[in-house]
Amino acid sequence: MEMKKREAAADAVSPCVLKISLIFRRKDPVILGIVVLEGMVKVGTPICFTRDNEFIDVGRVASIKNNDKPVDVAKKGQEVSIKIEGSNYEEMQKYVLCRSGKWVGLFQA
């Protein structure tokens, strides 16, 4: 029973809304500076963005850093950097890249 709870907890996703503040790396793995607007983001969280009521999968959070120190979780109001592996770069560029080459938009998990 305890084993099943641990497995389910590992697969659970905490909903969050993230705003991009900086772009450190544009290709896989994508590394972004973000602000957590709602919820919390954890290592392993799947990330997507919405466009015209459609969810576009971006990848999963591989790591989170706060002031150059690795952390497992970032909560509402924190500004951290995240590394997204398995990035769907083409979709990100198609829908999120705009306004003189800067990335804008909100990511959701």
pLDDT at 74: 95
pLDDT in tens, 39-59: 999 998 888 877 677 777 878
The burial of 74, by beta-carbon neighbours within 10 Å (0-12 exposed, 13-18 middle, 19 or more buried), is given as buried
pLDDT of residue 65: 97
Residue 2, in any domain of the structure: no
Q: Is residue 101 part of a domain?
A: yes
- Considering its fold, how many domains does the chain have in total? 1
Helix (H, G, I), strand (E, B), or coil: what is residue 34?
Answer: strand
Q: Look at residue 8 and tell me if it is in a domain.
A: no
pLDDT digits (tens, 9 = 90+) for 50-99: 767 777 787 889 999 999 999 999 999 999 999 988 766 666 665 554 44
Task: Return the SS3 of 90.
Answer: helix
Does residue 5 belong to any structural domain of this protein? Answer: no
* Residue 29 forms part of a structural domain: yes
Token look-up 């706060």 returns 66
Question: Residue 47's domain is classified under what CATH number?
Answer: 2.40.30.10
pTM > 0.85: no
Within a domain: 3: no
Whether 6 is in a domain gets the answer no
**Residue spans of alpha helices (H) in the chain:** 2-11, 89-95
Residue at 34 is within a domain: yes
d(CA 98, CA 16): 23
Distance of alpha carbon 9 from alpha carbon 66, whole angstroms: 24
Domain encompassing residue 82: 14-108
